[in-house]
Amino acid sequence: MGTPHINAEKGDIAKTVLMPGDPLRAKFIADNYLENVKRFNTVRNMFGYTGTYQGKPISVMGSGMGMPSIGIYSYELYKFFDVERIVRIGSCGAYTDEIDLYDVLLATSAYSESSYAKVQSGTYDEAYTYPTKSLNDTLEKHASDLDIPIRKGVIHSSDVFYRENFDDYKTIYKEHNAIAVEMESFALFHNAKMTGKEAACILTVSDSLVTKEATSAEERQNAFTKMMEIALSLAE
Ligand code: HPA
């Protein structure tokens, strides 16, 4: 079969897909955590892999950066490949000094100024979209079973990484209670709602807009292990 952006057959992709932004992180997860791995997508180097984790099937695929990109891939996975749930595993910037680098966050909603939801469906004109409650509950339980502390909160899905006024984040933190910023979840949650599927988002804090601290690529790779292990336990 195949779609414009995913050159796979329907049965090539598991019911659960983990989506890091970076396709090379998808490759890292496949190489280091999965067995019986088969690569199912190479279009635009947006690599996707299916394998088994503790004997159970799961897929992992890059989403690219930003809502237009994750919007395309998640829609095709839900609509044309019978994917039931997508868990974004990404990085974020902290909006409050109560959050430290490498903390793991679970999104309870995504606030955005984006027109994605309105343009996609023509009917849904809200500033917030939501993950699937039962999926969040499962992820929370897995985190607790693995003894990994997680923090829950509203996240800001931004269309812009380089704002002229970085201090704008203070208003968003105050008015929307958004504790961290990333660039994809709002569109992912909307697509799940429109297709009747499930979505969630776990994030690792890679930088802070408050303290201006940032992590190196190598430190990030290690820290992301915790988040991946929480999400991988969704293999079924
Ligand atoms: N802004 C937007 N997205 C991000 C950031 C950020 O500071 N850090 C990680 N993802």
Q: What is the CATH number of the domain that holds 209?
A: 3.40.50.1580
- pLDDT, position 199: 98
Residue 80 lies in a domain: yes
Residue 9 lies in a domain: no
Residue 11 lies in a domain: no
The catalytic site residues sit at 207
Number of structural domains in the chain: 1
C-alpha 182 to ligand 1 mean position (Å): 5
Does the CB atom of residue 93 touch ligand 1 within 6 A? yes
- pLDDT, position 125: 74
Of 70, 114, 160, 206, the residue with max ligand 1 atoms within 8 A of its CB, to mutate for a pocket test, comes to: 206
Residue 40 lies in a domain: yes
Instruction: Check: pTM over 0.95? Answer yes or no.
Output: yes
Confidence of residue 219 (pLDDT cuts 50, 70, 90): confident
Tell me the pLDDT of the chain averaged across its residues: 95
Q: Does position 124 have pLDDT exceeding 80, yes or no?
A: no
- pLDDT, position 173: 97
Residue 6 lies in a domain: no
Q: Which atom of ligand 1 is least distant from the CA of 92?
A: 9
Domain that holds residue 124: 16-232
C-alpha 75 to ligand 1 mean position (Å): 23
Residue 201 lies in a domain: yes
Whole-Å CA distances, 55 to 35, 77, 200, 214, 232: 8, 22, 23, 36, 12
Residues 6 or more apart whose Cβ sits within 8 Å of residue 88 = 19, 20, 63, 70, 184, 185, 188, 199, 200, 201, 202, 203
Neighbours of 217 (CB within 10 A): 8
Residue 5 lies in a domain: no
Does the CB atom of residue 181 touch ligand 1 within 6 A? yes
C-alpha 91 to ligand 1 mean position (Å): 7
Residues 6 or more apart whose Cβ sits within 8 Å of residue 165 = none
Of 161, 202, 212, 216, the residue with max ligand 1 atoms within 8 A of its CB, to mutate for a pocket test, comes to: 161
Burial class (CB in 10 A: 0-12, 13-18, 19+), 120: middle
Q: What percent of the chain has pLDDT over 70?
A: 100
Residue 187 lies in a domain: yes
C-alpha 208 to ligand 1 mean position (Å): 9
Does the CB atom of residue 166 touch ligand 1 within 6 A? no
